[in-house]
Amino acid sequence: MLSGKRKLILLVIALLVVVGIIFSMKKSSHNKSDSNQNNIESDVVLLNKSEVYTVLKESIEDTLNITGDLSAKEQTIISAEVDAKVLKVLISEGQSVKKGDVLAMLDAGDLSQDVLQQQAQVAAAQSQLELNKQKMNTQQALLKQGFISQISYDELVANYKSALQNYNAQLAMLKRSQNQLSNTKIVAPFDGVVYQKSIDAGQFVQKNTKLFSIANINQLEIKSAVPSDKISAIELNESVVFKVEDNSAIYNGHVARINPVSEPGTRSYMVYIDVDNPNGALKPGQFVQGSIVLSKLLEQNVVDCDAIFVKDNTYAMMINSSNIVNKQNVKVLLKNKSTDKCALGGINVGAKLIANSVLTVKDGDKVSLMNY
């Protein structure tokens, strides 16, 4: 028989063996669980949130960027029509004027005399014409009665025609003198602003001397050169939005004219854009940056164009509510080349689409979004 002490030692050894077996089984089970967890995690594709785009409901435009300069649509140089001395200058540079406002007065002394003399010439010619007409009518009755010869009557007719020609000539000369006289009063041809004054009182000016420059700044236009590969996309009356230098305000205009002939030495075509400027906020000469709205769609499903894949067809890689990737065929309805936004058909608002730069994700993959 074993002693009590020996039995105790054997019992302790047996307990240690049992504990070792149990610990070994638990460790094995834990390692297997960790292995399974690692396998599960290795099946999930990690994505940065910056690689995922959300489809939004908004309007979208297709635009063409332009640059150009503002200029007055209606402007002119006023020149002297007669040789004369400047008596008064009634306007200053930068001053607004209305059509018909007097800008300056030239000396009309000699021209006034010419008008008076010509009026006298017209009156004399008119009297002679009426006398010759009366003689011709009287002699016509005598001709019918045989009291005068045909030759005598023909002479009266010739005198009447000569008097009529003289009267018309004197009348034309009177109108010319009156026009010359009216040219001593320099008036504004339209509403606008005098942006240049070239004369002063007391100065003698000759015909064709530049007096004033005037522009209507209520109606401006933008002249913009458009490359030949883009000119066909532009149509008349299309909307234009633009900004001017040192000004954050947005202004509007519309395409008024398109020159069908390219600019000499270039492959660009000039496009003319009308701009209303009733309050004078815009100034001729300002540099313009803007865009022509080629087409516009309201309330569309819009996303960055980087979310679109193009291979055999056009599709997007969409993440569903279970974080599973689904390949979804889509149709690009409109693209804004300036903002690189696309309106899509075949996709719903709120959908999350993976960027086309991510090439490691396949249809059916499970993904997880990270903030790194």
CA separation for the pair 318, 328 (Å, rounded): 7
What are the tens digits of pLDDT across the range 87-126? 999 999 999 999 999 999 998 877 777 878 888 888 888 8
Considering only residues 147 and 107, tell me which one the structure prediction assigns the higher pLDDT.
107
Residue 22 amino acid letter: I
The model's confidence at residue 35, banded by pLDDT at 50, 70 and 90, is very low
Q: What are phi and psi of 244, to 5 degrees?
A: -115, 160
pLDDT (mean) for 164-175:
88
Give the pLDDT mean for 38-67. Answer: 81
Tell me how far apart the alpha carbons of residues 40 and 344 are, in angstroms, rounded to a whole number: 35
Predicted pLDDT of residue 116: 82
Mean pLDDT for 6-28 is: 64
pLDDT value of residue 184: 85
Task: Please tell me the distance from the alpha carbon of residue 267 to that of residue 262, in angstroms, as a whole number.
Answer: 6
Distance (Å, rounded) from C-alpha 315 to C-alpha 328? 5
**pLDDT score of 275 more than 90:** yes
pTM, entire model = 0.60
